[in-house]
C-alpha cells in the first residue's frame, strides 16, 4: 500500500471514528445523529477514493463523484441543523431528490475509457478532459459550487442573525472548517491539475473533509454534550493510533512488523489510560461546576433574602420616623391649643374678679 493510499485510509478511518464519538456520548441527541450521518457519508467518499487507488476501476472512479455529491448534501443537512433551521419534509424530499438524481447521473453519464491502473488517479483529477464528459462536469461542478455557496450563505446568515453568543461561536467554527475544506478542494481539484500534479490531488481532496469534520465536532462540544478537552484527547489518540496501525503494513521485514505492532499495542494501552483519565477529569470538573452553580444559587437566594429583610427594616424605620414626626407635630399642636385655652380661662377669671369688685364698690 502506497503512502498516498495510507494517508487517505487514515482520513477515512478518522471520519468514521469522529462520527462514532457523539453516538457513544449521547446517541439520543438529534444533533449528534445528524453529525454522525454527516461524518459517515464523508467517510464513504474517502473510502471510495482509497479503493480507486487500491482497485482502479471505472466503478470506483464514478463512486468518488457520486459520494462527493452525497457529502455536499449531507453537509447542507448538517448546516441546517447546527443553525437551528427546521428540516421540513419539503426541504428533505427536494434536497434528497436532487442528490439521488445527481448520483444516478454520475454512474450513467460519466464516460470512462479504457485506462491503465496508474492512469485512474489522473482521470479522477482531470475527468473533465476525458472525451464526452465536458457537459456533464460543467453541470456537476456548477452544482457543487452552488451547494458550497448556499452552505456559506446559510452559515453567514445564521451567524449574523443569531442572538445567542455560544451559537455564534459554533457557527463560526463550522464556517472556518468549511472555508478550509473549500480551499483545500480548490487546490487539489483545480490548481494541481492545471500544474499537471495529478498525483497530489487525492492528498488535498480526500483529507480536506477533516477540516470540516473537526471544526464541526468542536462546535458540537460548545453544546456541552461532551467536554472539549476529552474530545481533543480522543482525536489525538485516535489519529496517532490510526497512523501507528498503518505502519506494520508498510514495513518490509518481519522484525520491523513485530516492532511496530508492539509499539501500536503499547500506544493503545497508554492511549486508553489517557482518555479514561481525561474523562474522569472532565466528570470531576463538571461536578465542581455544578457544585459552584448550586452554591452560587444558594448565596444569591440568601443575598436576596437579606436584601429583602434589610429593605423591610429600612421601611419599618422610615415608617417609625414618620409616625414620630406626626406625634411630635400633634404634641406641638396640643401644647399650643393648651396655652391658648388656659390663657383665655385665666383672663376670664381675672375679668370676673374685677367685675365682682366693681359690683361690691357700687
Per cent of the chain over pLDDT 90 is 0
Cα(177)–Cα(7) distance, rounded to whole angstroms? 20
Nearest to 190 by CA among 246, 240, 137, 147: 137
- How much is the pLDDT for 128? 46
Alpha helices in 55-88 (DSSP H): 58-82
270-300 residue pLDDT tens: 877 877 777 777 677 767 777 887 888 888 8
Task: Output Rg (C-alpha) for the chain, integer angstroms.
Answer: 40
- Quote the pTM value: 0.57
113: left (phi over 0), alpha (psi -120 to 50) or beta: beta
Nearest to 220 by CA among 37, 52, 2, 32: 32
31-81 residue pLDDT tens: 778 888 888 888 888 888 788 777 877 788 788 888 888 888 888 888 888
207-254 residue pLDDT tens: 666 667 777 766 766 554 445 556 556 666 666 676 667 667 666 678
Cα(74)–Cα(87) distance, rounded to whole angstroms? 12
Under DSSP, the state recorded for 256 is: H
For residue 267, with 0-12 CB atoms within 10 Å meaning exposed, 13-18 middle and 19 or more buried, which class applies? middle
- Secondary-structure percent of the chain, ordered helix, strand, coil, rounded to 5: 85, 0, 15
Cα(130)–Cα(132) distance, rounded to whole angstroms? 6
Cα(219)–Cα(66) distance, rounded to whole angstroms? 28
Amino acid at each position: 500500500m502506497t503512502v498516498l493510499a495510507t494517508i487517505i485510509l487514515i482520513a477515512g478511518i478518522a471520519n468514521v471514528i469522529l462520527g462514532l464519538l457523539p453516538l457513544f456520548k449521547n446517541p439520543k441527541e438529534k444533533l449528534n445523529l445528524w453529525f454522525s450521518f454527516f461524518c459517515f457519508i464523508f467517510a464513504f467518499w474517502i473510502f471510495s477514493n482509497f479503493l480507486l487507488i487500491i482497485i482502479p476501476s471505472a466503478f470506483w472512479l464514478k463512486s468518488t463523484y457520486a459520494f462527493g455529491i452525497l457529502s455536499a448534501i449531507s453537509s447542507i443537512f448538517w448546516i441546517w441543523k447546527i443553525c437551528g433551521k427546521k428540516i421540513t419534509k419539503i426541504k428533505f424530499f427536494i434536497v434528497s431528490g436532487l442528490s439521488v438524481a445527481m448520483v444516478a447521473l454520475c454512474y450513467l453519464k460519466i464516460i470512462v475509457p479504457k485506462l491503465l491502473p496508474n492512469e485512474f488517479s489522473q482521470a479522477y483529477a482531470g475527468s473533465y478532459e476525458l472525451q464526452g464528459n465536458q457537459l456533464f462536469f460543467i453541470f456537476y461542478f456548477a452544482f457543487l459550487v452552488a451547494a458550497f455557496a448556499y452552505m456559506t450563505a446559510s452559515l453567514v446568515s445564521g451567524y449574523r442573525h443569531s442572538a445567542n453568543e455560544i451559537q455564534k461561536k459554533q457557527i463560526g467554527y463550522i464556517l472556518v472548517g468549511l472555508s478550509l475544506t473549500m480551499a483545500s478542494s480548490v487546490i487539489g481539484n483545480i490548481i494541481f491539475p492545471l500544474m499537471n500534479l495529478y498525483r497530489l490531488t487525492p492528498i488535498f481532496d480526500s483529507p480536506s473533509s477533516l477540516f470540516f469534520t473537526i471544526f464541526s465536532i468542536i462546535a458540537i462540544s460548545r453544546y456541552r454534550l461532551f467536554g472539549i478537552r476529552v474530545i481533543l484527547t480522543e482525536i489525538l489518540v485516535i489519529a496517532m493510533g490510526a497512523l501507528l496501525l498503518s505502519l506494520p503494513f508498510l514495513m518490509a521485514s518481519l522484525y520491523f512488523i513485530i516492532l511496530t505492532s508492539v509499539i501500536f499495542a503499547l500506544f493503545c494501552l497508554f492511549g486508553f489510560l489517557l482518555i479514561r483519565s481525561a474523562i474522569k477529569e472532565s466528570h470531576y470538573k463538571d461536578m465542581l461546576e455544578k457544585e459552584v452553580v448550586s452554591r452560587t444559587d444558594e448565596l444569591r437566594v440568601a443575598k436576596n433574602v437579606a436584601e429583602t429583610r434589610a429593605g423591610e427594616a429600612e421601611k419599618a424605620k422610615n415608617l417609625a420616623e414618620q409616625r414620630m414626626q406626626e406625634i411630635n407635630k400633634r404634641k406641638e399642636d396640643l401644647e399650643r391649643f393648651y396655652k391658648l385655652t388656659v390663657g383665655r380661662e385665666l383672663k376670664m377669671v381675672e375679668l370676673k374678679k374685677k367685675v365682682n369688685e366693681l359690683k361690691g364698690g357700687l
